[in-house]
Amino acid sequence: MRQSCKPYRGYVIEVQIESVARHAVSFSGMQRRYAVSWSIYPDDDAVAAVASFPESVDFISEDGAFRYGEKRAQAFIDCTLACESK
């Protein structure tokens, strides 16, 4: 599942969530696990991604994976802009 976030500081963040083959055992039985990756694109409709990273963490919910990917992408943008301003 691909999902775009609202524009952030001149960039568009796209988060991709995929169900992984691994399952986690919980009190309620087997739970599905989700992997997340994210990409950053300029807000000016450019086709090429500025950055794209898979995360090495699995999640038990799609919402948790999405929020994590969005926050990691925002942190990357913040760091990039801070380095450019020096």
Please write the tens of the pLDDT for every residue from 48-60: 888 999 998 889 8
Q: Read off the amino acid at residue 48.
A: A
Flag whether pLDDT at 73 surpasses 90.
yes
pLDDT for res 24 = 64
If you average pLDDT over every residue of the chain, what do you get?
88
Q: Is residue 51 exposed (0-12), middle (13-18) or buried (19+ Cβ within 10 Å)?
A: middle
CB atoms within 10 A of CB 74: 17
Flag whether pLDDT at 22 surpasses 70.
no
Flag whether pLDDT at 44 surpasses 90.
no
